[in-house]
Amino acid sequence: MNDPKLARLGEQEREILALMAEGCSNATIAARVCLSTASVERHISAVFAKLELPHTANRRVLAVLSYLSQAPRR
């Protein structure tokens, strides 16, 4: 992982970000990782903070773009 900000993410945060990149809603993510929706929302907030995303932009899209820029090519 070349992006030092992405390297800050914990394993569960990376998993949640990957599911966000797949287009999953918070409720779908919660079901897939066996957490409450509130827990998923807290993890997503932590992802936004660790990636230092501005509050004025669409942070979910920016987070996914950061993730996809570092994802291995298939």
* CATH code 1.10.10.10 for 11-70: yes
Helix (H, G, I), strand (E, B) or coil at 11: helix
Total-model pTM: 0.86
d(CA 56, CA 29): 24
What are the extents of the domains in the chain? 11-70
The answer to whether residue 66 scores a pLDDT higher than 70 is yes
Residue of 5, 12, 19 lying closest to 49 (CA atoms): 5
- In this predicted structure, the answer to whether residue 74 has a pLDDT above a threshold of 70 is no
What mean pLDDT, rounded, does the chain reach? 91
